[in-house]
Chain A
Amino acid sequence: MNERGAVRHDYETIAKWIAPGSKVLDLGCGDGSLLAYLSRNRAIRGYGVEIDDENVLACIKNSVNVIQSDLESGLSVFESASFDYVILSQTLQAMKNTESIIREMLRVGREGIVTFPNFGYWQNRVQILRGHMPVSSNLPYEWYDSPNIRLCTTMDFENFCAEHGVNILQRIVMNNGKVATFLPNLFGTLAVFRFTKGG
């Protein structure tokens, strides 16, 4: 469900947002490379959650704490307000229970960070205009084998936050590692949001 083969441009952006020495939970942590990156560059203490056997093994090989568990069933093993940041990197679009995972992120963490492929990217729109579901390096799946069941645009996510009492603190939309500032919902491939509980 990750952006396969592409460089994880979101790592650097996420690292900049994270205060040194923080406690970080990475949901859908893959092989643990983000946590390893953050622990090298931000001296964080962290745990990953991962469901896939091979990824769990890879995390252990990378000396990253990993808890094997299905995100869809919640984060009950984690206490409320026990993390500074809870990260959901390139996983949101593959989750069934979107509302509950965002709620859980903000229960467990002070702040949430999500990254997801921006479905509003112009090339996606062109492919749809031509009559096809988009397939690209950012969305490398055919419609029938894609784990991405809840694709959205940056605007969609912003609306979601507004409707669910989620307070967006920061947003960066990227295109091939560069920040897309001009019409980001049209020219950005990857959205990175930092948010907290509203109200």
Chain B
Amino acid sequence: MQDIGIVVPQCASFDSPLTLQSGAVLDSYQLVYETYGKLNEARSNAVLICHALSGNHHVAGFHSEDPKSVGWWNNMVGPGKPIDTNVFFVIGVNNLGGCHGSTGPASTDPKTGRPYGANFPVLTVDDWIESQARLADRLGIETFAAVVGGSLGGMQALQWAISHPLRVRHVLAIASAPNLTVQNIAFNDVARQAILTDPDFHGGNFYAHGVIPKRGLRLARMLGHITYLSDDSMAKKFGRGLKKGSYNFGYDVEFEIESYLRYQGDKFATQFDANTYLLMTKALDYFDPAHAHEGDLARAFAGAASEFLVISFTSDWRFSPARSREIVKALLDNEINVSHAEITSSYGHDSFLMVDEHYHAVVRAYMRNVAKGAA
């Protein structure tokens, strides 16, 4: 098993206006993406990887010799890996509204010549699917062999099967949910409040002031990070360990976990755009395919024609296995081919990003079946 090596992101510009679910219109936009492997002659081996809240198009390989430039799912995608780039043509795309090259709040609004900032429209998962479908058109891909995603990425994979049933043969929805629980929305709102109330946020137009709302983003990330882990995994990794070995009766960093969270928060605050964070959490909150069907998820999937692999993780309390079972039930009600693997893991929601032999074996086995149909 090896890595892809150095990859270079590509960019696709779109000039036909995209009408969003909110009614707003994006006249033009660009999407940054990466591809790995080769599209076969029948154009039947394309796999789309949808990213989660803080992810991007850089799924696998490296951007430079620096090992830190590795893609976020490099353990899953690559030559000989569970999603095998020797077999599949894999696409990673930075979602619209993102902050890694695709048009987003920090991009220049052609109408004003200034960053969109607060004027950037709120996006939904549906909107992302439409923009991704246009990218697929551009790349000459009529049907994906599979659309794969974890967490918010899994929601996009599910929405693909609903919005474009004939363009997706297989969906892999990992650590996902048919909508957010109220508790999840609550967490998201605390994160948003941290950003919105940061004096450096300037109503979303902080670019003009030459500042970034670091404090808010940092808090948002710290809170989020806690919820992506499990109590057990935090206890195992950090325990009640003290940095200096004893109490110092103050508010500086004392416990290991404080040090870790502050580091993660600080790192994130300098790398991620606050408006993108707000937008992504809102897209999460709004996702609810059953909403248009009086809350009946089965009806939302009535037109789906894909086959599904649903994967959940025992210790994931943000997108719990019970939520995956709701997806499974809705698919079963429609007599759709579906398998559900519940992976025993102690890493919480982040499990889907981790290397776990059984988890990877399940994805590998399923993708082999996908490949048979794509040959």
Residue contact A77 to B325, C-beta cutoff 8 Å? yes
**In the complex, chain B residues whose CB is within 8 Å of the CB of A68:** 340-342
Q: Which of A45, A53, A66, A79 contacts B339 (CB 8 A)?
A: A66
Q: How many A-B residue pairs have CB under 8 A?
A: 53
Closest residue of chain B to A51 (Cβ to Cβ) is: B342
What 0/1 readout, one digit per residue, does chain B (294-336) give for beta carbons within 8 Å of chain A?
Answer: 0000000000000001000000000000000100110011010
What 0/1 readout, one digit per residue, does chain A (39-80) give for beta carbons within 8 Å of chain B?
Answer: 000000101000001001101110101111100000001110
Measured in the bound complex, the distance between the Cα atoms of B328 and A69 in whole Å is 12
Does B366 have its Cβ within 8 Å of any Cβ on chain A? yes
**Interface stretch (choices B111-119, B175-183, B199-207, B357-365):** B357-365
Does B86 have its Cβ within 8 Å of any Cβ on chain A? no
Measured in the bound complex, the distance between the Cα atoms of B296 and A18 in whole Å is 32
Measured in the bound complex, the distance between the Cα atoms of B341 and A82 in whole Å is 22
Residue contact A65 to B339, C-beta cutoff 8 Å? yes
Measured in the bound complex, the distance between the Cα atoms of B358 and A36 in whole Å is 22
Does B10 have its Cβ within 8 Å of any Cβ on chain A? no
Measured in the bound complex, the distance between the Cα atoms of B203 and A119 in whole Å is 75
Measured in the bound complex, the distance between the Cα atoms of B344 and A53 in whole Å is 9
**In the complex, chain B residues whose CB is within 8 Å of the CB of A8:** none
Does A125 have its Cβ within 8 Å of any Cβ on chain B? no
Residue contact A77 to B339, C-beta cutoff 8 Å? no
Q: Assuming A65-B339, A68-B340, is B332 touching A57 (CB within 8 A)?
A: no
**In the complex, chain B residues whose CB is within 8 Å of the CB of A61:** 365, 368
Measured in the bound complex, the distance between the Cα atoms of B312 and A69 in whole Å is 12
Distance from B208 Cβ to chain A, minimum over Cβ atoms (Å): 52
Does A23 have its Cβ within 8 Å of any Cβ on chain B? yes
**In the complex, chain A residues whose CB is within 8 Å of the CB of B328:** 67, 77
Residue contact A82 to B332, C-beta cutoff 8 Å? yes
Q: Assuming A77-B332, A82-B332, is B339 touching A60 (CB within 8 A)?
A: yes
Q: Which of A23, A56, A67, A82 contacts B362 (CB 8 A)?
A: A56
Q: Assuming A68-B341, A68-B342, is B335 touching A45 (CB within 8 A)?
A: yes
